[in-house]
């Protein structure tokens, strides 16, 4: 129960759930990249394979991811409010020597990602946004046309712009969140802190370019 009642415990749960979601983001990125054709059948075959898994596995995975996501969000809000209540008056001179823009705005980048994930799920998972191009309503060889849905979505400049802004936000969140989770779990020390910080920023940058590659290649009509 100390995990729920102490600041250290809640930070530990945030670190664990955060790393689990980072792992999901990496796997999701690999799956998304199948749109470039490295997988036989491309992204349509990848999506079809996922949806042919037994329903209990799909439902269990989604529920587990939802629980981890809500734990992460809930404790992030709690800890942010506690930190602010602990120092209700702003210091006359604020020291930011060791604080980065990303570290000071985690609650805001997290909030923006929360909103974007909701939109993204409605668009490409539940397919209630732009239903005329929904994969489930446009079937190719008895397989939902996910490729066509994604291309149609990102051909809209505003949709691509929203996605690009969200990926910048993800980069900022991860660039601090990765090294912060390692620090919280005690997986680094003063000697390795600089290296882990740089590797965390590099991993966030790789994920940023990996995710934005899809909308950018569609906007410039490489994928069409």
| pLDDT tens profile 189-209 | 888 989 999 999 999 999 999
Torsion of Cα atoms, 63 then 64 then 67 then 69, to 10°: -110
Q: What would the 3-class secondary structure string for 90-143 be?
A: CCCCCCCCCCCHHHHCHHHHHHHHHHHHHHHHHHHHCCCCCHHHCHHHCEECCE
DSSP β-bridge partners for residue 143:
140
Core vs surface per residue 7-28: b (16+ CB within 10 A) or e: eeebbbbbbbbbbbbbeeeeee
d(C-alpha 162, C-alpha 117), whole Å: 12
CATH number of 2-86+101-219: 1.20.1300.10
Going from N- to C-terminal start, the domains of the chain cover 2-86+101-219
Per-residue pLDDT of the chain (224 residues; tens, 9 = 90+): 566 778 889 999 999 999 999 999 999 999 999 999 998 899 999 999 999 999 999 999 999 999 999 999 999 999 998 888 865 544 444 444 467 899 999 999 999 999 999 999 999 999 999 999 999 999 988 899 999 999 999 999 999 999 999 999 999 999 999 999 999 999 888 889 899 999 999 999 999 999 999 999 999 999 99
Nearest to 215 by CA among 158, 174, 170: 158
Distances (CA, A) of 162 to 35, 47, 119, 124, 157: 20, 23, 10, 14, 9
Given the DSSP bridges, would you call strands 139-140 and 143-144 parallel, antiparallel or unpaired?
A: antiparallel
pTM: 0.90
**Helix orientation angle between 146-154 and 193-219, rounded to the nearest 10 degrees:** 90
């Amino acid at each position: 129960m100390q995990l729920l009642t102490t600041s250290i415990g809640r930070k530990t749960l945030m670190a664990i759930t955060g790393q689990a979601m980072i792992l999901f983001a990496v796997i999701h990125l690999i799956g998304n990249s199948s749109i470039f054709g490295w997988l036989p059948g491309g992204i349509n075959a990848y999506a079809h394979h996922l949806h042919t898994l037994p329903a209990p596995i799909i439902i269990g995975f989604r529920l587990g991811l939802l629980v981890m996501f809500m734990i992460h969000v809930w404790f992030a809000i709690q800890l942010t409010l506690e930190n602010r209540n602990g120092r209700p008056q702003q210091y006359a001179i604020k020291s930011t020597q060791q604080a980065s823009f990303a570290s000071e705005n985690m609650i805001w980048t997290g909030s923006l990602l929360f909103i974007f994930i909701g939109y993204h799920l409605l668009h490409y998972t539940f397919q209630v946004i732009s239903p005329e191009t929904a994969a489930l309503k446009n079937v190719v060889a008895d397989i939902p046309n996910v490729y066509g849905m994604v291309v149609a979505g990102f051909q809209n400049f505003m949709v691509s712009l929203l996605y690009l802004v969200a990926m910048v936000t993800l980069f900022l969140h991860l660039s601090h969140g990765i090294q912060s989770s390692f620090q919280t779990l005690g997986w680094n020390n003063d000697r390795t802190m600089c290296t882990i910080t740089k590797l965390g920023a590099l991993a966030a940058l790789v994920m940023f370019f990996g995710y934005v590659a899809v909308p950018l290649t569609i906007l410039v009509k490489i994928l069409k």
